[in-house]
Structure 1
């Protein structure tokens, strides 16, 4: 299990399957200091009842990750502790309500031209017929460029946004500690400062962008988010959107290369791409583990989880649970009732899911239409990223 969370396993799914079939599928982990939940019904249960499985825990439950005597750590925690993903109602409800105008179907569709323009612009930089790694220069750049454009950030800030995004994402990994966490926090604070400048500017001079929308939207309580509250959510949008779409592109291409008949079928009928994207998300979830805390003694599996215990819901494991999905390890584009947990479940269902789906659909439609001869490359060697919570792809060589 230490190898699983240390990131050494390139393919964690056999280990997840083994854990599902041992006992009740719920296991204590000394490494993660909590219970691992690997079956679909139990993972969904964890997301269904915030009164029983609380989200109000992340930063105050792991004091060893941060130094209370460090001013940068305290400043970081002041912002990060206001994230609505780590809050229960009513705080969660109040903050999330500010997004009610931002991710409507109309808003998402209005962003489609932006996603299409950026996808074309970035993929056209690469030579045809030559081998290259699609992860660092395309898969990682698309979501950063899209969210930067939607937020109203100048194009020349994209490289910094990408650097900031990776640093902030690493602060959510409990295995990142010591000097490595210090560097990540320092870089994350640069992101907070920049977003604070944008928020202040939009209050004086509103624009047609997402920051202005969030600045002007009242919460359900009739007030506006405070500056620190708002910049915390903006930083989260950048990180969550980046990680999800980057991983989706790498995973989707890898799955298609491993299933050439499916690749040919999608090339023949790109109208199937939305269903394919859902199956990519199910088979290789960007976020593998979701953290909660048992608020009361509660039954889970064949045991009772003591109040105060950390619970890790394994979304990636649950997505391949044979109790829920037939042929759980197979890529089945026509799969019906594909209610995977990659965006999790309940009140904390990912607010940015519609944007991630749009990005995935546009990217794969463009690649399938424009590059019918796309095939896997061999160098650099295909390798997963090693974040123990969000497992993406470090490399994905291709030939267009």
Structure 2
């Protein structure tokens, strides 16, 4: 059964497959691979908590071997991504997290709200008064990209190339990569790191009120600043993590509203349920379906032996639909009391630093869409299609007929 993990039918709709895995055993080894899938909520929660046994240095995706080959084919590569947040362990990870967390406090994220609302309104302004849009292209993709570009402190005029770099980085996580495509992604990464290198050099000469300046000025308890390599790695992770996951969350939320018109009607009447709608979107259409850990010693997960050196994929997309935790787990439920028990942002020391920012984007987006649009409907017969990526749940497009509310 586990050889279906990368199949197109599974990528397009993995949930019945996940259910089979959960019901059969919960922990499964992919055939011909050193990868173990963890699909039950309790087991996934346990692995996320066992940080001394399961290292985060496995890398963020499953298919790095092709990329490593491409990396070797770039002998003159100027930059490399050092371990900081995403693929690191304590005590080094702890240092970086403390330094970067200062930019993601609840107070700082709340301060971004007026700018976020202006961005959302600007995107809706561009919609026709009564006509067709592509929700992914015209709203879900530009919103987080603009927010994260402003947060980092880079010009909006560079958004198109930023989007390309982010998409290329995301493809490595679980996409089907040819050697040629792997090399292209590696070259794209070099361009991205070179871009940030130039921006950091500019900020050293002319500081601003942005994330890049904060990285330059950050020092730890021993008064040790970040190196340029470390700043480049953190900027890269912030761009990709802050963009791709929120795109998928926004797209998934709109899809669920189309599939659940009674919930949409209720949200129009009761805006207090919007935060739960965001959480249910994160749970049901988990933006990042899984995260990888490296087994540091022979151990077991729920009675299944896992050898040292194996990679473990914590399949949040499966754990988030576990009936042992979520009653009627496949239902989009605006009254679900434990909606935030999902694992879409991880847990513990690796809980996503941008979780509050992403949630705020989701809430503001839905508030303004409901306020300013009398209707937004997919055409009859619409079938969602996702990118060929077993880790990222990325909707390719979503046509919508929109009708603006009277001013």
Cα distance, 1:301 vs structure 2? 1.6
C-alpha distance in structure 1 between counterparts of 2:273 and 2:379, whole Å: 25
C-alpha distance in structure 2 between counterparts of 1:151 and 1:336, whole Å: 35
Q: 1:37 to 1:5 in 2, by over 3 A?
A: same
Cα distance, 1:71 vs structure 2? 2.9
Q: 1:119 to 1:108 in 2, by over 3 A?
A: same
Structure 1 stretches lacking a partner, 5+ long: none
Corresponding position of 2:345: 343
> TM-score, normalization: structure 2?
0.92
- 1:40 paired with 2:41, answer yes
- Among 73, 80, 83, the alignment partner of 1:70 is 73
Q: Secondary structure at the match of 1:130?
A: strand
C-alpha distance in structure 2 between counterparts of 1:47 and 1:295, whole Å: 14
> TM-score, normalization: structure 1?
0.94
Corresponding position of 1:153: 154
Cα distance, 1:69 vs structure 2? 3.6
C-alpha distance in structure 1 between counterparts of 2:293 and 2:254, whole Å: 32
Q: Secondary structure at the match of 2:102?
A: coil
Matched-pair contact (CA < 8 Å) for 2:54–2:296 = yes
Corresponding position of 1:369: 371
Q: Superposition pairs for residues 1-400 of structure 1, below 5 Å?
A: 1-9=2-10, 10-22=12-24, 24-30=25-31, 33-58=34-59, 62-67=64-69, 69-71=72-74, 75=78, 78-79=80-81, 81-173=82-174, 175-338=176-339, 339-378=341-380, 381-400=383-402
C-alpha distance in structure 1 between counterparts of 2:117 and 2:155, whole Å: 18
Q: 1:331 to 1:104 in 2, by over 3 A?
A: same
Cα distance, 1:114 vs structure 2? 1.5
Matched-pair contact (CA < 8 Å) for 2:66–2:182 = no
Cα distance, 1:74 vs structure 2? 5.6
Matched-pair contact (CA < 8 Å) for 1:288–1:390 = yes
Matched-pair contact (CA < 8 Å) for 2:67–2:183 = no
C-alpha distance in structure 2 between counterparts of 1:384 and 1:210, whole Å: 32
Per-residue CA deviation, residues 3-59 of structure 1 (Å, 9 max, x unaligned), is 43244431111110111011x211010265311000001111111021111112228
C-alpha distance in structure 1 between counterparts of 2:265 and 2:318, whole Å: 28
C-alpha distance in structure 1 between counterparts of 2:9 and 2:228, whole Å: 40
Per-residue CA deviation, residues 70-107 of structure 1 (Å, 9 max, x unaligned), is 2368655x21x424211110111111111121001110
C-alpha distance in structure 2 between counterparts of 1:148 and 1:154, whole Å: 7
Matched-pair contact (CA < 8 Å) for 2:174–2:391 = yes
Matched-pair contact (CA < 8 Å) for 1:40–1:318 = yes
Q: 1:316 to 1:381 in 2, by over 3 A?
A: closer
Cα distance, 1:299 vs structure 2? 2.2
C-alpha distance in structure 1 between counterparts of 2:375 and 2:54, whole Å: 48
Matched-pair contact (CA < 8 Å) for 1:84–1:95 = yes
C-alpha distance in structure 2 between counterparts of 1:301 and 1:94, whole Å: 32
Structure 2 stretches lacking a partner, 5+ long: 403-407
Q: Secondary structure at the match of 1:293?
A: strand
C-alpha distance in structure 2 between counterparts of 1:332 and 1:58, whole Å: 34
Q: Secondary structure at the match of 1:398?
A: strand
C-alpha distance in structure 1 between counterparts of 2:184 and 2:381, whole Å: 30
Matched-pair contact (CA < 8 Å) for 2:175–2:388 = no
